[in-house]
Structure 1
Amino acid sequence: MNRYCLALDLVDDPVLIAEYEHWHKTENAWPEIKKSIFDAGIAQMEIYRTGNRLFMIMDTYDSFNFETKAAMDAANPKVQEWEQLMWKYQLALPWAKEGEKWVLMEEIFNLV
């Protein structure tokens, strides 16, 4: 297993943040999106929010890699529809590369 932590901002608007959270509640999640996450080799995913900053934790199988996940997403019309919807709420971090949403975070401390 590997763990990745990523960050992203939301548009700083309480109404849009509430809508974003609505789409991420279990009862509103698109089953095709959950399937695409599991199919890519992600075993567990959590997203946390403080203000308009999001923090994602992904636990992945050894077979996971970001390039394969990106190719799978690009070939999946439902994932593309989801990503288009999410851009309404998401705001790339100022240091993100062109077209990059979630930015991989660097681990700077580990207690164990």
Structure 2
Amino acid sequence: MKTFLLICDLKDEPEAIEAYDKCHQAVPEPILESIQESGILEMNIYRWKNRLSMILRTKDDFNFEKKEQLDLANPKVQEWESFVGQYQQNLPGTPPHWKWALAEPIFNFEAKKD
């Protein structure tokens, strides 16, 4: 299993933050299916103010290029991305089309097993 952390900023507006939180309380089934079909086993999104962090746990053969191709070929995913995209903004220093940026791991700790 692979683990990834991605970050994204929401527009720093209370209405955008509230709307983004609300739409994730009832993610449409076709979106959940597309997440699973891409090889993602677990996805968690956390928010601090307008900063989002997404933890992905994926199959070993998961890659972002394949997921992007699947997403581009799925009209439901494109509709969802457009919908949630209205609440997101680019992170400083990222290309204009990026919403989520992949964070680089710099430290890992695992407790010793008895």
Task: Bin the TM-score by the shorter chain.
Answer: over 0.9
Spell out the pairing of 1:1-80 with structure 2 (5 A cutoff).
1-25=1-25, 28-80=26-78
- DSSP 3-state at the match of 2:5: strand
Amino acid at match of 2:6: L
CA distance in 1, matches of 2:45, 2:24: 9
Question: Kindly, what percent of the aligned residue pairs are identical?
Answer: 46
| TM-score, normalised with respect to structure 1 | 0.95
One-letter amino acid of the structure 1 residue matched with residue 2 of structure 2: N
Give RMSD over aligned pairs: 0.8
**Alpha-carbon distance in structure 1 between the residues aligned to 2:50 and 2:59:** 29
C-alpha distance in structure 2 between counterparts of 1:100 and 1:91, whole Å:
9
Q: Structure 1 residue runs of 4+, over 6 Å off?
A: none
CA distance in 2, matches of 1:15, 1:66: 30
Question: Which runs of 5 or more structure 1 residues have no equivalent in the other structure?
Answer: none
Q: In structure 2, the residue corresponding to 1:94 is in which secondary structure?
A: coil
Q: Which has the larger radius of gyration?
A: 2
TM, length-normalised to structure 2: 0.93
Instruction: Name the SS of the counterpart of 2:98 in structure 1.
Output: coil
Any stretches of 5+ residues in structure 2 without a counterpart? none
* Cα distance, 1:97 vs structure 2: 2.2
Figure out how many residues of one structure are paired with residues of the other and give that number.
Answer: 110
